[in-house]
Amino acid sequence: MIRVHRVALDVTNIQAADLARACGTARFAYNWALARWNEMYQILLADPSAPKPSQQSLRRELNSIKHEQFPWMLRVTKCAPQEAIIDLGRAFGNYFAGRAKRPHFHKKGAADSFRVSAGFFKVDGRRLRLPLLGWVRMRETLRWPEAKLVSVTVSSHRGRWFAGFACEFPDPTPEPHTGDVVGVDVGLREYVTSDGEHIGVPRAYRNTERQLRRAQQSLARKMKGSKNRDKAKAKVVRIHGRVADVRTDWLHKTTSRLVAEHSVICVEDLNVRGMAGNKHIAKSVMDAGFFEFRRQLEYKCPASGANLVVADRWFPSSKMCSTCGAKTKHLPLHVRYWTCESCGASHHRDENAAINLRNYAASSAVSACGEFKTADDHGRTATSSSHLCEAGTRHQTGR
């Protein structure tokens, strides 16, 4: 298992210039290799006997010509161009496997970074030694000093430099949890658990939207190429960065606490891309971090021995009464409280959905026919179809 610890760096102006030079070299090598790959592919189409492009052949070709054609590459570590070409080969592998789009040329200033493989760097407390650069100060020590360091990726983000250490661990051995089962219903303003806890979403973008609008208006008035435009652009970048940091910090703290306190966590399989296409709620959907919330649970649960259960996208968590199992066809989003006509139970919409998700995970009785089990008023288990939201079902009254 590979985990990454990202650490901020304290660099001098000279060190920052050297790091930027290494990033530029890695970007140039990637673009050069991509152009050569496309050229070799066109030759291969005309002559099937021609050699196929590969990252190994491109790395050997670059090593043979860089002393004469690109002598400035010798001013940075050799890992920068070599690892960039390896990344290109991996990108083409993902493209041919249908997992990603075709690789494109990298642009200066967009995700500038370079990677140094194991054996070419050293960590000593709060210091990082890079080849041809020397020791660089880090803001903190490594989180896992006993882990095996696979590589370090130095990147520039919002005017600061960071080092991402890829640490290798043995596959975790799941340990029995003493916690319980919990269902989590995600919302635009709050996440609600089946325990009745309401976790407020920080809404970092919404709260900063007015400040960001003014900063962007100021940027639009600046003359292109001027120093004032660069300052205004940096201000916009800082605001976006602060929004991302607030959202990421909240998601990490929330998911870590849920994984530590519960043995089974159940969430819904939401169509986040479709929800983001709705212009009325798109900003709030992305601000709440639905996709990132599930992504963090997917890798944190196995590491801690917890289980993640994802309910089917069509599971009627909000429209089903958690007391008797009766379902309704119409329950508009603005209805936050409703009463079941079958048993008379009153429900908070999100709390009821979270309880249904908890019952879904606790029963683990989903069959191939799409059926699930619910409990009736006398505690007996009843089997109901997940498609009973058609006409003819019982209706509840919203209030």
Residue 180 falls in the annotated catalytic set: no
Task: Please tell me the predicted confidence (pLDDT) of residue 381.
Answer: 39
Task: Please tell me the predicted confidence (pLDDT) of residue 363.
Answer: 78
Task: Please tell me the predicted confidence (pLDDT) of residue 240.
Answer: 92
Residues 6+ apart with CB under 8 A from 44: 50, 51, 52, 53
Task: Please tell me the predicted confidence (pLDDT) of residue 179.
Answer: 63
Digit-coded pLDDT (tens) for 337-393 = 888 878 878 888 888 889 999 988 887 644 333 333 444 433 333 433 333 333 333
201 burial type by CB count under 10 A (0-12 exposed, 13-18 middle, 19+ buried): buried
Three-state SS across the chain?
A: CEEEEEEEEECCHHHHHHHHHHHHHHHHHHHHHHHHHHHHHHHHHHCCCCCCCCHHHHHHHHHHHHHHHCHHHHHCCCHHHHHHHHHHHHHHHHHHCCCCCCCCCCCCCCCCEEEEECCCCEEECCEEEECCCEEEEECCCCCCCCCEEEEEEEEEECCEEEEEEEEECCCCCCCCCCCEEEEEECCCCEEEECCCCEEECCCHHHHHHHHHHHHHHHHHCCCCCCHHHHHHHHHHHHHHHHHHHHHHHHHHHHHHHHHHHEEEEEEECCCHHHHHCCCCCHHHHHHHCHHHHHHHHHHHHHHHCCEEEEECCCCCCCCECCCCCCECCCCCCCCCEEECCCCCCEEEHHHHHHHHHHHHHHHCCCCCCCEEEEECCCCCEEEEECCCCCCCCCCCEEC
Task: Please tell me the predicted confidence (pLDDT) of residue 178.
Answer: 59
On the question of pLDDT at 181 being above 70, the answer is yes
Task: Please tell me the predicted confidence (pLDDT) of residue 137.
Answer: 96
Mean pLDDT estimate for the chain = 86
Among 87, 112, 350, 351, the one annotated catalytic: 350
Residue 185 falls in the annotated catalytic set: yes
Cα separation, 322 vs 337, in Å, equals 13
Sign of CA dihedral 131, 135, 140, 146: positive
Task: Please tell me the predicted confidence (pLDDT) of residue 364.
Answer: 61
Digit-coded pLDDT (tens) for 217-241 = 999 999 999 999 999 999 999 999 8
On the question of pLDDT at 399 being above 80, the answer is no
Cα separation, 282 vs 360, in Å, equals 28
**Burial track 235-261 (b if 16+ CB lie within 10 A, e otherwise):** beeebeeebeebbeebbeebbeebbeb
Q: For residue 259, what are its two tokens? A: 């994984």
Q: What angle do CA 18, 19, 22 make, to 5 degrees?
A: 90
Which residue in 159, 156, 150 sits closest to 5, CA to CA? 150
For the ranges 132-141, 205-214, 253-262, 321-330, the lowest mean pLDDT is seen at: 321-330
Digit-coded pLDDT (tens) for 81-98 = 999 999 999 999 999 999
Among 18, 83, 112, 268, the one annotated catalytic: 268
pLDDT band at residue 28, thresholds of 50, 70 and 90? very high
Which residue in 158, 237, 254 sits closest to 202, CA to CA? 254
Task: Please tell me the predicted confidence (pLDDT) of residue 375.
Answer: 40
pLDDT band at residue 18, thresholds of 50, 70 and 90? very high
Residue 261 falls in the annotated catalytic set: no
Cα separation, 184 vs 351, in Å, equals 9
State the average pLDDT over residues 238-264.
92
pLDDT band at residue 303, thresholds of 50, 70 and 90? confident
Digit-coded pLDDT (tens) for 281-296 = 899 999 999 999 999 9
On the question of pLDDT at 135 being above 70, the answer is yes
Among 112, 185, 287, 351, the one annotated catalytic: 185
Cα separation, 92 vs 245, in Å, equals 32
Cα separation, 77 vs 120, in Å, equals 9
